[in-house]
Structures are given as structure tokens and as C-alpha cells.
Amino acid sequence: GDSVTQMEGPVTLSEEAFLTINCTYTATGYPSLFWYVQYPGEGLQLLLKATKADDKGSNKGFEATYRKETTSFHLEKGSVQVSDSAVYFCALSRGDSSYKLIFGSGTRLLVRP
């Protein structure tokens, strides 16, 4: 069945460091891909998305490119801030049941000043 695999955390970085969180997926057809973020004490919220191959999603300085050839959707940010500390979830959905998100297990990011 469909699945999402993301790198285990925690990832600990210093402020202004470059961030990569790896995400790969297994799915039939052409899924849509998402990154959700959960800040401490808050619910999950959509960070960015891409709906077809080679699309780049971006928001708040974060970017991810839908790579069908490598079935990947890695999250990147050029310069992280302390306020980026959160848990990041990669997810996919398929067109026939787009409401049914399939999540990875999450990666905790800790940014130190």
C-alpha cells in the first residue's frame, strides 16, 4: 500500500544553519505531496504542497520539490530560526480519496540560538 518514509529525528541545528529533512514515498499513480508542521501546543497545519511532478511548494522560506524519478519530496530551508522548532510531517494523498492523508512518522527539529 501507499506509504511515506521520513528521516528520524531529532534534528538539532544552530540558528541560520541549512535544513534538509528527507521524505520518500511509495504510491501508485500520481499522488499529491504535503508537508505539515506542528508547533508546540498547536494543531497540525499545512506548510506547503505540490500536486504534480517537478512542482515546487514553498512557504515561510521552506521549499520542497516533487521528484517523481526519485519518489522524494525533501524539505529544505536556507537559514533556520529558533521559531522553526517543531515537528514536521511529510504526507501524501491520492486523487480518488484526497481527504485521506497518509503521513510519515514525523521529524522533530530543534533550533538552538
Partner 1 sequence: GAGVSQTPSNKVTEKGKYVELRCDPISGHTALYWYRQSLGQGPEFLIYFQGTGAADDSGLPNDRFFAVRPEGSVSTLKIQRTERGDSAVYLCASSARTAYTGELFFGEGSRLTVL
Nearest distance, CB of residue 110 and partner 1, angstroms:
17
Nearest distance, CB of residue 102 and partner 1, angstroms:
8
Question: Whose Cβ is closer to partner 1: residue 57's or residue 77's?
Answer: 57
Q: How far is CA 60 from the centre of its chain?
A: 13
Residues lying near partner 1 in the complex (CB under 8 A): 4, 32, 34, 41-46, 49, 89, 91, 93, 97-106
Read off the C-alpha cell for 68. Answer: 517523481
Give the residue carrying C-alpha cell 522553526: 84
Local structure of residue 72 (DSSP, 8 states) = B
Q: Which of 23, 2, 31 is nearest to 107 (CA)?
A: 23
Question: Whose Cβ is closer to partner 1: residue 18's or residue 30's?
Answer: 30
Amino acid at 32: S
Instruction: State how far the Cα of 15 lies from the Cα of 49, in Å rounded to an integer.
Output: 25
H/E stretch holding 58 reads strand 56-59
Question: Whose Cβ is closer to partner 1: residue 3's or residue 79's?
Answer: 3
Nearest distance, CB of residue 7 and partner 1, angstroms:
13
Nearest distance, CB of residue 75 and partner 1, angstroms:
14
Question: Whose Cβ is closer to partner 1: residue 19's or residue 34's?
Answer: 34
